[in-house]
């Protein structure tokens, strides 16, 4: 089994070394071996696991959710994996809808603002100062 050091692992997967150390501290990743000097050595399994974590983060999964997915993948519980991914998708779609509402509101405020005059008459500042309406 070919092993590599933490620097090479981080470089090959495309994450900072501190990220690898953080994942070790929280138990998501463990070195394959340690040399007598204490240096960490990683094999293909750790490289694959780190890529999984990085891709999971890119898809918006939290580290806790990624840890859960890793546990589920060990048991090959595809139904639970699908359920977790579906929940993530629902959350992402909800956030997109909210961002679209925010974007549309901001567009309206910008369009209503003449860009000159007194601050008290600025529709953007007035909208931010208004009490929330039920």
pLDDT, tens digit (0-9, with 9 covering 90-100), for 40-85: 899 999 999 999 999 999 998 999 999 988 888 877 778 888 998 8
Domain boundaries, the chain: 1-59
Contact criterion met (CB below 8 Å) for 32 and 2: no
For residue 42, count other CB atoms closer than 10 A to its CB: 25
Q: How far is CA 3 from CA 9, 25, 91, in A?
A: 9, 20, 38
Is the CATH number of domain 1-59 1.10.1660.10?
Answer: yes
Torsion of CA 26, 31, 35, 41, to 10 degrees: -130
Q: Tens digit of pLDDT for each residue in 1-49? A: 688 999 999 999 999 999 999 999 999 998 888 888 888 899 999 999 9
């Amino acid at each position: 089994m070919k092993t590599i050091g933490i620097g090479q692992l981080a470089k090959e997967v495309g994450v900072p070394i501190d990220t690898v150390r953080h994942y070790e501290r929280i138990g998501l990743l463990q070195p394959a071996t340690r040399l007598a000097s204490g240096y960490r050595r990683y094999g293909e399994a750790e490289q694959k696991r780190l890529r999984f974590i990085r891709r999971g983060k890119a898809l918006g999964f939290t580290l806790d959710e990624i840890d859960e997915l890793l546990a589920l993948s060990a048991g090959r519980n595809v139904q639970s994996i699908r359920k977790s991914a579906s929940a993530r998708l629902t959350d992402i779609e909800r956030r997109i809808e909210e961002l679209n509402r925010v974007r549309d509101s901001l567009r309206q405020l910008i369009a209503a603002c003449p860009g000159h005059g007194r601050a008290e008459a600025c529709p953007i500042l007035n909208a931010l100062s208004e009490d929330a309406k039920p």
